[in-house]
Structure 1
């Protein structure tokens, strides 16, 4: 095999120079591209022995991406993978160039990848039969491997192959078995497959063909499982060589042909030449000199082709390298220009930011001036409004003070009237009880007096009810619980409540309200209103009079009338009926008295329920108190 040392020195010199240029930069890494590069390099590691052409294209792509963003670890891994690709195709000098290039870029902080690179260099030197350099690089790999079982297994694997080549078979076998134990602890199937091939080779060279065939069979079967086509091709040729040694030439020819076809499909030049050489030997031993000579010629042609291919590949390598270097230089030039542009842009940004800051300072100063001016106007307006509000509040306080004085005066009047009105029935009751207790009055006389005083007590009770209702509304507000109220039914209740008073004056009560017609109002309020109006009608209606409750259905409301045939109200007194301040109070037909609060309360309750209250009266003909309430809608 040709070893172009001068070519390697030239390429290594250029690679080192470019690496120094690249290492001088510290570009910002793109996380997305780094993930892509790392993913590409991992895929290449798994496919280069089965698909070297695809692996090489991917490695070159990963190299360009790494150099574009100055990702040194990615560049080193791409060079390492390119070395693996060329080694798998038996271009050992080219693979050495890429392995050595990888060492320039691989990070010193990752000893395991450095160990893998030195181990690969040792393997390439073994294939080039330079066993001294092979062992030297494998020793360096062992130091970087430390105690890592996977990396140590790889190093001892390669060492076993070196010692087998040096004819130290027992040492090679021992190292291979030790590596096998390490690989099994981590279940590294690809490494185990290679170790079976190593053991087969060592036992063949040692002359123990039975063991060699057993290990070779195992390696061959496992090569399908781990998809190592290169190892499979070598295993076919290894078995063929063993079968030649045990005089099974036909089997050797069959296996050699399989090895040649597979080697040709994946471009293993050593495999093709070795297969033809083995077949030629098999036919020679079978004394088939024609076939032996034919395959000898193929073997010679394969060697010539290998030398020619090496020369062509070396030329292609130089062209590819300088083409790659040219592309990388172009990338560096673009980055340099981009750096200059970034500098200019940075300067422009600085100028723009300075101008913006100055503009912001001016705007801020104007804003502060405007803000203070606006605040001054706001404060002036606020003071003006506060002054106006104070004047309004002063007027309101004066009005409230006047109202409070008026209400206080009204309270005094009401208490005086109510005290006077309640004092008489209570005093009468007290006198009757005192006379009864002293046995001055008989039971019959007490019963007669009680019947006479009942209307007075009932009037006092209604006065108290009105007072409590009015006081509650003034203190807590009117409690409103509207429902459907049937005026006819309330009229029935009024007839029952005031039945004794009707009998006393022989008054006829006529309930002409429309039954079943309901208004939307608070039922308790309506009962208070009707109690007051019926009580007033009784008070001002003479004996044998008539009091009538009637309703008139309107469009959206119901008109309720309480009419009597009493003595009526003078026209000049009508306007004072519903006012507490100018209340109207007259004596009833039987001397009944009132406070005037009842009618005021009625008006307030009716209006609160959404209606209105009014009165029509004519002296000596009677009065009609009317109010309206909203009808219940479906």
Structure 2
């Protein structure tokens, strides 16, 4: 649960911000501001100086008849003493502030006085008195429509009810606070209240509801860039996974929370973080790490005098030392935790500690004490399950037993000896039953542990078998891909290399004939074309291998799409002239996209090469675009051989990919369209084909528009 000082810091800050010093002169306001600022300046660093300025401020406000400022300053002085655990001085100034706020009829200041007095009684471990002040503050806040104080008071009532063991009352208080916050748009209190509600759901094992609330906290904290609340949410999500025994996930969230808290001053959140890291390492069996983190948490708790955190850390240190068989240390920490829990009246922690005591006595062979600890645990468990009902039953039972004892007093005296004998027999019988129960319980625990270990072992073996099956399946796919890949390389490298070899031999044979210059030039042209085809093949192979190995880094930038298209048209000019094919671009020259320029360049180059390869001579290739929301569609249309639907379905798959000769027997890499699909999807787009045999094909793909243009 969030501690009361979180709320109070908010109160003090809002109070300081809203101080409108009204007085006779401008000079009075200036002095008031100066004294207030000096008090805040020295509040943490030099307490003596802070006190001097606080008293000066009160005297100055009284002298100038600034009643509101006098009361607020007295409240802050009371809080200062409370924060420094000077409880008598705190109560003295808080009582004065309450009396003056009621005398001068300042409702808001009266509410604030009751709230701080509630915090005072929490520190005194008198939660009943604290609840009285909170309820008075709540009634005043409702009466005068002071919604922020109403929400704060509900939160503090919820915290107090929770510590008393009244889970449903606590939840209702937090839900009331949340309703007020939502209705009145009090954003400053929203996150803290959602965290409180989530913690109740965690305590009640309603994990889904708790996660919903904590995800709301994460969203709001990210929007506000509030690392403190992000740390709180991650820490609390960790507690959910720890409660569900998913200790690895819990550890991840706890460490994430600790990372977010870097550079924070010592506070209760950081203390909780270290404690949770200690508890989860205990559950994971890393006792050395558990002791390290628990001691870190304990050191911080001592610095801020958080008694609640003393209990939590003492408890887990006791549990660790029971596991490591260091029983003296375990007994020491267990005694400290139990004493504090009883002093503060924490029923829920007394329940946990009774369980640890039972374990301790069993481990040390003290069976009689183990029996008593177990009975104490059972009794406390019943109290905690329904505290309110149990309280009523106890009152009625006490009344009933008192009357019964008075009526039967004479009879009991007369039969004292017989009763004593029967009582001893009954105790002996109960002892035997309890011993039997303890032995049975121990046997059950051993059997459960053995069954759990067997289940885990079977599950592990099953998982290993499943992984092996998956690995075999993946290996088959990889081998199939590898064979297909080598087939593509063997097929497509053979044609351009064969052409290069053939034409180079012809050039060599004709090089001595002066009459064959024109023929050699022709061979050179073919040789150049084969080299270009080979270069295109190697480029696609290189790009494909990079993408398969994960070496292609996606680097999106804003660039002009029409410029990339035009550059690729220029590159294809020589090829297009050979087949008398015309490129027609219908692109808007100002279209900008947000994508990886190198990938887009490769996509367009391969689509143009593909269109040239399968276009009939003296035809046209049309490049066009169409806007579609925040994306753009780019289409490359040719008037060539086209293809049937069966070929279309296999076009982008390496398993079914085959290289087809073009309209002038051009060879292809077989990988170009596969590469196009991978690169389009890497940029968040889609690619598809529309084709009809002997009429041509249109390849279309999408890219995200530039953010400026899409807006």
Q: What is the TM-score normalised by the length of structure 2?
A: 0.37
Structure label with greater radius of gyration: 1
Q: Tell me: higher relative CO, structure 1 or 2? Use CA pairs within 8 A at least 6 residues apart.
A: 1
